[in-house]
Structure 1
Amino acid sequence: MKYIILTFLLAFVFCNKNVLAQKKQAVDYVNPLIGTPAAGKGGTMPSVGPPYAMTNFTAQTRANKMKAMPYVYEDTTIRGVIATHQPTVWMGDYGYVSIMPQVGKLAVQPQQRQMKFTHRDEVSTAAYYSVKMNNQQGASIKAEVAATARCGIMKFTYPASAQSHLIIHGINVNPEEDDKQNRSNKRSKLRGYVYIDKVNNQISGYNPDRTAYNLGPELPNFKGYFIIRFDKAIIDYGTWSEDTISKGSVSQYGKNIGGYISFATKKNEVVTVKIATSFISLKQAKQNLDNEIPEWDFDRVVQDTRSKWQKNLERIKIDGVTDDQKAIFYTAMYHTMLFPREFSEYGKYYSAFDDKIHKGVSYNDYSLWDTFRALHPLLIFTQPGRVNDMITSMLQMYKEGGWLPMWPNPAETNIMIGTHADAVIADAYVKSFRGYDVNLAYSAMRKNAMIPPDSDTGRLGGDRDEWLGFEGRIGLTYYHNLGYVPSDKAKESVSRTLEYALDDYCIAQVAKSLGKRNDYDELIKWSENYKNLYNKETGFMTPRKRDGQWGGDMKFSFTEGSPWTYLFCVMQDVPGMIKMMGGNEKFAAKLDQNFIEGHYSHNNEPGHHYVYLYNYCGQPWKTQELVRQQTRNNYFNRPQGINGNDDCGQMSAWYIFSVMGFYPVTPASGIYAIGAPQFPKVIITINIDPQPKTLEIIANNISEANKYVQSVTFNGKVLSDFFISHNELIKGGKLVFLMTDKPTGKNGN
């Protein structure tokens, strides 16, 4: 009888293990450590919180600033858990606050309070982070972190100690850690504030810092407010400024300040902390905390955030793939659901475009030069319920600041070039999104195209230059009069000309739909301005001076690239570009040279559509080869798993489109270029009213050898070429690829 019972129990345990293994969900495959090493320049961090969270919570391994994330995988010490708003490595943080546990003699400065850790003692998921840290005396503290959209909750497990502490770092304006963006020391005038409130057992304050301060306008009212509550009674406490610790002090004002509480702990005693953030007020921070983490239930926050991720991630289901492929795919999806971040707080938002509080919904941190290419087109499938609000947010920036944003952080920074809000809005418009003020949107885009910014002909422009006013389309007067931006009158002149022309095409599509024929004719004419910089003698896009002569500093005529980087940057008129370059065969030969000689850099966004250009010149099998190559050579399930900066989801969105089998080469066209699916089956649930749609993508016979597409059908109909419209896909159905080991020139042949 005992033997029977034991056998039954073993069988029960075994079966339940199998059930648990089968129940692994999409969220369980997310690996937030992908992209975190400095060596890979991925620019990501292992933050916790729901999709599009206003505030990200992450372990802080170093002083973050432009060109340095708060968490870097190669680092071996942690100096705090930071509530950060830094979107990417090339952009700044703002309104941050951090907290650090400690045992032993009180030491408040980052280099003094940091503790060692190893990745063996670290757990990182989308909804939960933990790490065990060790000080020089061998004492260990475990930190656990969970978060909601605007608030965080943390558990710190202490050893037995008569001297345990929690250190708050409220602002860190440290000239020694400044970078070139702030060498004028304008930022050094900023002062933050902390206040220790024994009655409510909390530390509150504000932080007006923006590490990209010099790139934007003055904002006298900007503050990142915070409230930090403890489940441990505040008895011993104080504040600090620089290296001066003031025991018993309840308030502190300065540029490198904080507060602390001290207490005794028993072995494995857990101290729980809640942090609320707001850009509106301390009162709003309290409301955010009451709304999001009213109790001290850490596990509930983890489960709620996990459920939100699962609900969003399962909108795309993949089948027939390895666990590594699932990790790469769902981590990519995770990265596409971080930015632009929610910026409103229950019906209100602070605007860094007029320095005031408004009613409404808001998003911020748009990396538009990167994300117009694939991220925003992907959100039309995965986040259709957010698309209209994201556009409305940009239109609010237009109303409050006079222009659509280029790269808000949270104010305009003029980073990168072009006015690619035009492309994002026009693409959504062409794909039938109308839940925003369409007339206002057109007026805003038209202004970008028609009205030069201040000092248009008196400034050279320049990425990351100190703020002198909105830059927008610097050189627009010359662009209209000459048909190009001259190299002796503006920096990055070739790149500007090409990107202005693309945006003009996008706006033209909206003008045409709205019946604005005169505008359309003018915009379409300008969209061909790229031809004016093509030098037939050299076969490249070449800088050209105001007098019409070729010439200009090649280094400063391109944005983050070279003549090869921008040679094929004519997304709006690929047939015209092919004709200009000598026809299909010569164009294909030039594309071959680009890839064979190593000129293509997947880590640089201007070339993200290059893989798909073979479709337009009659050699689609080369697109199919390159999709397989680039998806495998640039994305991995390991920390150094992204080849280059993810740029707020653009690299990840490229991957998702490419493994699914189609890509949006031309914004605002409503057309996708067919590539080659990399998974046997992908199912997309598109939550568009009134009835959700399902798009099933099937790759029959796919294998290591079968990387080519023999034929493509959509809902049983053979596609006539390697392109498909958005209007077809959005209705749902089956997109079926028949894969083969032999290149084919035409669909079905």
Structure 2
Amino acid sequence: MKSSARAKAIVAAGMVFAACIDAQSQPNARGKLPFEYVNPLIGTTNGGHVFPGATLPFGMAKAGADTYGGENQGGFSSDNSPVYGFSHMHDSGTGGSASLGNFPIFPQAGCPNDDINACRYTLWQRATLRQQGSANGRPGYFDVSMTTNIRTEMTVTNHTALYRFTFPDTPTTANTTLNPHILVDLTDLPQTRSEANITVYPNNGRITGGGIFSPSFGSGTYQSYFCLDFDGATVKDAGVWSNSRASQQATSLKIRPGDSRQTPSDTPAGGWVQFEQPQHANQILARVGMSFISEAQACANAEREIPNNDFDGIAAAAAAAWNDKFSVITLKDGGVDEVLLRAFWSGVYRSMISPQDYTNENPYWNDGEPYYDSYYCIWDSFRSIHPLLTILDPHSQTLMVRSLLSIYKHLGYLPDCRMSLCKGSTQGGSNADIVLVDAYLKNITAGIDWNLAYEAVVKDAEVEPPDWNLEGRGGLASWKALGYIPTENLDTDGTGLETRSISRTVEYAYNDFAISTLAHALGHLDDAAKYLQRSGNWRNMFNPTQRSIVNGIDTNFTGFLQPRYLNGTFGFQDPIYCSPLLNFTGCYLNPAGGETYEGPVWLYTFYVPGDMASLISTLGGMETFVKRLDWLHESGILYVGDEQAFLTLYLYHYAGRPAKSAERAHQYIPSLFNDTIAGIPGNDDSGAMGSFEALVMMGLYPNAGQDVYFITPPFFEEHIDDSFDKLTIRILRDSHEISVIDIAQHLDALQGNQQIVCASLKG
């Protein structure tokens, strides 16, 4: 087997394999294209925070409706919250506060009594309920109607949003004639604006401006700029507004530090244009170019990408871009319930919303390398998003790896989280290390300087940054001297949140395992041995006498990871703490956040991906290990809505029980991962849930950072082939006369029918 397709597949012992049939890609049995199964609204309730609007694969421009209140981290929430604007950049699936959503625009059919000051300007005044059931979308397009009978459609190119507003023949507001009014607001979703400026050009209605904003999960500020043009109606009047008052004389406005209008909540402000009646079908087009460089570049982006405002043509091109991404997968889906098809294709779709391609939009450096942003966060994405892209879109994954190295070259550390050109918060280990090593093992190599990559990961392991809240690792002196991160550590080399000692220890250990793998491959054998030894440091947090008692009942399992102090003595954290059974929200990034991050000791005790044989032995052997896994998945302690849970579905493989891995896959899909608006169990985290869902349904789950895939029976036959012809994976499923839904519902009775006929890796 050539190195270009190095991958191990852990398969069921004793399973019968036959020669694979080289099946040809076949059209969908129902005559549908993949993008027709995508439901962008999946995950827009239940804490999913998914962005459902219009975007290209990895595009910077993300046009969407923004709702007021509720869970609007992705801009739009499928609840009863009103729409207050349509903005042009978003993140998707994130926790914490909302991000981006800069410079929202908002349409009104006219102003009562034709009085420009009778229109509604502030966010609270203009927020309008949407018509029930009107929100819908497809890849590259979104559509929603408000109770004012204004319909808003949107599509995008890479840096530009295009909106099509259709106004009613008769405005719903009393004493209003159809003279459409469209405003732009100098704000963002979390209302972080500090400085801003805007200029309105009454002769043609163009509005340009910019502002300084703050990221949602990081440090610093960023500058963003826009260029807004209209088409379809003659400009009647234009000006600027502040608070709820509009001016027809003033055409520019500036907000500076110390200004009483500094924050959007103190005094909202922006620009507006009023039009004569539209010339065709009561429609007005609004084109919004975006840039992080300047207003001039925002205008240039818009003029280059959308020169003629052909809305339908732009939407068709966006759909074609998505179909091109989907075309590497061919499914034989006859008899498969459409719930599963919608869940699968929507999961693949959400895996390609972020990271976002900001190439040529980085104001800090332009070294000729790609620049991607919205790694939000790698702690979430390294387990499933990047491994899925390695299979489906190796070209984009290559660009992302090169971007990570460019960030390292200019800022000194690989990011663990990055958004809006700012450093984001580090949640655990230096997990970009795993992204790089995983890419190397899967031959994602074009244009990548692996000597630079090795330098970057070694720096993570050896040099503590001044602020390890934002990059690198903390407590490295203790890590090297003691072999663990102590609870209440004394760290004199850097500053960071001294919590998560257990989860940081096991993550640092696996980071070092990955570095050891790369060191060995590049011929740094002494380093390889050193980091391999460090990868065993998880043992130093293992208390062999610790028991787990739940509601006064002993679980009969002994030995768990526990906090450990500088003097070597063990502390105590209840093994179920930070689970749905005990103080579920107790382990976030705050000073009282506990010694694990977003999960209990029960879960983190299983996190030894680089040495499962030692873990199984430590936990009492294979039989006890399987019983522990069963308890984890059946007791209610596991929340699969956090990414650390993903790998636990497949750890049965290491104990020779792959059928149980398949059973767990059907336990969670489609019960928790499905095609409803609440169809993911937690934050989508830039597509982490979607990519996990897709990989599970493909029957091919990676142990990220290694050349290992866990193979289970897929939910349908598929053929995956990337355009680089490096990796071809074919998994065929025995064709019993039974639907996948039946298998999900009657797994135990039909377990014998869930067999892998063949798995082959060519290359």
Same fold by TM-score greater than 0.5: yes
One-letter amino acid of the structure 1 residue matched with residue 202 of structure 2 = K
Change (3 A) 1:281 1:696: same
Instruction: Kindly state the Cα deviation for residue 711 of structure 1 after the two structures are TM-superposed.
Output: 5.3
Match of 1:58 in 2: 64
Instruction: Kindly state the Cα deviation for residue 693 of structure 1 after the two structures are TM-superposed.
Output: 5.9
The question of whether the paired residues in 2 share the 8 Å contact of 1:333 and 1:656 is answered with yes
Match of 2:90 in 1: 85
Distance 1:286 1:491 in 2: 46
The question of whether the paired residues in 2 share the 8 Å contact of 1:81 and 1:99 is answered with yes
Deviations along 1:179-202, one digit per CA (max 9) or x if unpaired, are xxxxxxxx56x1111111234531
Instruction: Kindly state the Cα deviation for residue 675 of structure 1 after the two structures are TM-superposed.
Output: 2.2
Matched, 1:637 2:675: yes
One-letter amino acid of the structure 2 residue matched with residue 616 of structure 1 = Y
Distance 1:730 1:287 in 2: 45
Q: Which of 367, 370, 377 is the equivalent residue of 1:361?
A: 370
Deviations along 1:199-239, one digit per CA (max 9) or x if unpaired, are 453101112212428x313x5xx421110001133331121
Instruction: Kindly state the Cα deviation for residue 95 of structure 1 after the two structures are TM-superposed.
Output: 7.0
- Tell me how many residue pairs correspond in the alignment: 656
The question of whether the paired residues in 2 share the 8 Å contact of 1:317 and 1:682 is answered with yes
3-state DSSP of counterpart to 1:35: coil
Match of 1:724 in 2: none
Deviations along 1:665-694, one digit per CA (max 9) or x if unpaired, are 2x2320112223221x11112111xx4765
The question of whether the paired residues in 1 share the 8 Å contact of 2:517 and 2:528 is answered with yes
1:310-709 paired onto structure 2 within 5 Å: 310-319=323-332, 320=334, 321-344=336-359, 348-350=360-362, 355-366=364-375, 367-410=377-420, 411-435=422-446, 436-454=448-466, 470-489=470-489, 490-538=498-546, 539-551=559-571, 556-665=594-703, 667-679=704-716, 681-688=717-724, 691=725, 694-702=728-736, 703=738, 704=743, 705-708=749-752
The question of whether the paired residues in 2 share the 8 Å contact of 1:146 and 1:152 is answered with yes
Q: Which of 290, 294, 297 is the equivalent residue of 1:284?
A: 297
Match of 2:22 in 1: none
Instruction: State the TM-score, normalized to the length of structure 2.
Output: 0.82
CA-atom RMSD in angstroms: 2.3
Matched, 1:729 2:761: yes
Q: Which of 191, 199, 203 is the equivalent residue of 2:207?
A: 203
Matched, 1:216 2:219: yes
The question of whether the paired residues in 1 share the 8 Å contact of 2:372 and 2:403 is answered with yes
Instruction: State the TM-score, normalized to the length of structure 1.
Output: 0.84
One-letter amino acid of the structure 1 residue matched with residue 162 of structure 2 = I
Instruction: Kindly state the Cα deviation for residue 542 of structure 1 after the two structures are TM-superposed.
Output: 0.6
One-letter amino acid of the structure 2 residue matched with residue 488 of structure 1 = E
One-letter amino acid of the structure 1 residue matched with residue 570 of structure 2 = W
Matched, 1:148 2:157: yes
The question of whether the paired residues in 1 share the 8 Å contact of 2:564 and 2:570 is answered with yes
Distance 2:474 2:445 in 1: 30
Instruction: Kindly state the Cα deviation for residue 110 of structure 1 after the two structures are TM-superposed.
Output: 1.2
Change (3 A) 1:397 1:581: same
Instruction: Kindly state the Cα deviation for residue 26 of structure 1 after the two structures are TM-superposed.
Output: 0.6
3-state DSSP of counterpart to 1:629: helix
Change (3 A) 1:20 1:333: closer
3-state DSSP of counterpart to 1:229: strand
Deviations along 1:609-663, one digit per CA (max 9) or x if unpaired, are 1111111112222112111212222111111111111111111111111111121
One-letter amino acid of the structure 1 residue matched with residue 102 of structure 2 = Y
Match of 2:104 in 1: 98
Change (3 A) 1:88 1:637: closer
Match of 2:225 in 1: 225
Deviations along 1:21-53, one digit per CA (max 9) or x if unpaired, are 95421111110010001xx11120211121111
The question of whether the paired residues in 2 share the 8 Å contact of 1:545 and 1:552 is answered with no
Matched, 1:239 2:240: yes
Distance 1:223 1:96 in 2: 10
Distance 1:644 1:576 in 2: 32
One-letter amino acid of the structure 2 residue matched with residue 293 of structure 1 = I
Identity of aligned residues (%): 28
Q: Which moved more, 1:519-528 or 1:446-455?
A: 446-455
Distance 1:627 1:88 in 2: 22
The question of whether the paired residues in 2 share the 8 Å contact of 1:95 and 1:209 is answered with no
3-state DSSP of counterpart to 1:677: coil
Distance 2:241 2:477 in 1: 53
3-state DSSP of counterpart to 1:658: helix
Distance 2:620 2:224 in 1: 56
Distance 1:542 1:80 in 2: 48
The question of whether the paired residues in 2 share the 8 Å contact of 1:341 and 1:364 is answered with yes
Which fold has the larger relative contact order, with Cα–Cα distance below 8 Å and residues 6 or more apart in sequence?
Answer: 2
3-state DSSP of counterpart to 2:694: helix
1:17-32 paired onto structure 2 within 5 Å: 22-32=30-40
Distance 1:268 1:710 in 2: 55
Instruction: Kindly state the Cα deviation for residue 710 of structure 1 after the two structures are TM-superposed.
Output: 6.7
Query: Runs of 5+ in structure 2 lacking a partner?
Result: 1-26, 112-117, 170-176, 256-262, 490-497, 547-558, 575-592, 744-748
One-letter amino acid of the structure 2 residue matched with residue 62 of structure 1 = Y
Matched, 1:72 2:77: yes
The question of whether the paired residues in 1 share the 8 Å contact of 2:500 and 2:596 is answered with yes
Query: Runs of 5+ in structure 1 lacking a partner?
Result: 1-18, 179-186, 462-469, 716-727, 732-749
Match of 2:250 in 1: 249
Instruction: Kindly state the Cα deviation for residue 126 of structure 1 after the two structures are TM-superposed.
Output: 1.4
Distance 1:405 1:241 in 2: 39
Instruction: Kindly state the Cα deviation for residue 63 of structure 1 after the two structures are TM-superposed.
Output: 5.9
Distance 2:465 2:427 in 1: 15
The question of whether the paired residues in 1 share the 8 Å contact of 2:73 and 2:99 is answered with no
Deviations along 1:361-403, one digit per CA (max 9) or x if unpaired, are 2111112001111111111111111122101111111111110
Deviations along 1:512-538, one digit per CA (max 9) or x if unpaired, are 011111111110011000111111101
3-state DSSP of counterpart to 1:499: helix
Deviations along 1:267-299, one digit per CA (max 9) or x if unpaired, are 951111111111122222222112211112110
Distance 1:94 1:542 in 2: 39
Instruction: Kindly state the Cα deviation for residue 471 of structure 1 after the two structures are TM-superposed.
Output: 4.5
Q: Which moved more, 1:557-566 or 1:320-329?
A: 320-329
Change (3 A) 1:21 1:623: closer
Instruction: Kindly state the Cα deviation for residue 101 of structure 1 after the two structures are TM-superposed.
Output: 0.4
One-letter amino acid of the structure 2 residue matched with residue 206 of structure 1 = G
The question of whether the paired residues in 1 share the 8 Å contact of 2:55 and 2:353 is answered with no
Deviations along 1:281-337, one digit per CA (max 9) or x if unpaired, are 222222211221111211001100011111111221222322222111111111001
Distance 1:194 1:241 in 2: 12
Distance 1:225 1:662 in 2: 42
Distance 2:164 2:283 in 1: 6
Distance 2:162 2:758 in 1: 48
Distance 1:172 1:607 in 2: 33
